[in-house]
Amino acid sequence: MSGERMTLEVTERGADELGTRNTKRLRKQGLIPGVLYGKTNKAFVVGERELRVALTGPAGLNGIVDVLISGQKTPHHAVLKDYQQHPIRGTITHVDFHEVRLDQPIHATVLIHLVGEAPGSKVGGVVQQVARELNVEALPADVPEYVEVDLSGLDVGDILRLQDVSPVGGVKFLDDADTVIANCSAPRGLADLEAEEAEAAEGEEGAEGEVSAEASGEAEAAPADEE
């Protein structure tokens, strides 16, 4: 759960420090611009290293961060709202936090982790993960880093839906219960073989039906020949 809190010290930006030119200058100095959204939105800058530590803590990206603005004594409880990355280097270029109340539920998106081994995979079945994220509602401290989904009941031909996922304490799933999480399909070769066998079986049934019809016709014609 995301109850473990990280403290992030930031410096508020004044109106004269906003704008593209100032932002580029800040990034060259190793500072990342950001915004804390709340009753009053606050623009700030934070050290790249400090930000990285806060976002890679034990609770992951869903953790609660105590944003402490320089010059203030009371931190702002916040969760990550969004961030932007450099398209080549992958470094964070901008970050947004959303101030929250710890006693009020929030909506969040969490990753799905598949665990266990599907029985179907032991006989050659192919497990495919269809959904990779879930939308949830929970108190900020109860938002999980990820949701574990057990594959131990997934056999060849089975579909695992959200309604099959074990509940998580304090967490409400917001997606449709029929949302497909994963499935286990037969290998292509086996699927083709099964299809061929099914077609052959249908052909045999059809042939048997024709033979039966012919036999019936001959049986009906026999009395006429006897006369």
pLDDT one-digit tens code per residue, 123-154: 989 999 999 999 999 999 999 989 999 999 99
Nearest CA to 135 out of 82, 173, 171 is that of 173
pLDDT digits (tens, 9 = 90+) for 162-189: 999 999 999 999 999 999 999 999 876 5
CB 149 within 8 A of CB 114: yes
For the chain, list the domains and their CATH numbers.
6-99 (2.40.240.10), 106-185 (2.170.120.20)
Helix (H, G, I), strand (E, B) or coil at 76: strand
Report whether 34 contacts 18 (CB < 8 A): no
Residue 34 Cα to chain centre, angstroms: 26
CB atoms within 10 A of CB 212: 10
What spatial distance separates the first Cα and last Cα of the chain, rounded to whole Å?
92
Residues 6 or more apart whose CB falls under 8 angstroms from that of 158 comprise: 120, 183, 184
Tens-of-pLDDT digits for all 227 residues of the chain?
A: 455 678 999 999 876 666 666 777 777 787 899 999 998 999 999 998 999 988 887 767 888 999 999 999 999 999 999 999 888 888 888 999 999 999 999 999 999 999 999 999 999 899 999 999 999 999 999 999 899 999 999 999 999 999 999 999 999 999 999 999 999 998 765 555 555 666 766 766 655 555 555 555 555 555 544 44
User: What DSSP designation does 4 have?
Assistant: S
The span from the CA of 139 to the CA of 133, in Å, is 18
Report the amino acid identity of residue 156: V
Give the residues across from 185 on adjacent strands: 126
> Phi and psi at residue 189, in whole multiples of 5°?
-60, -45
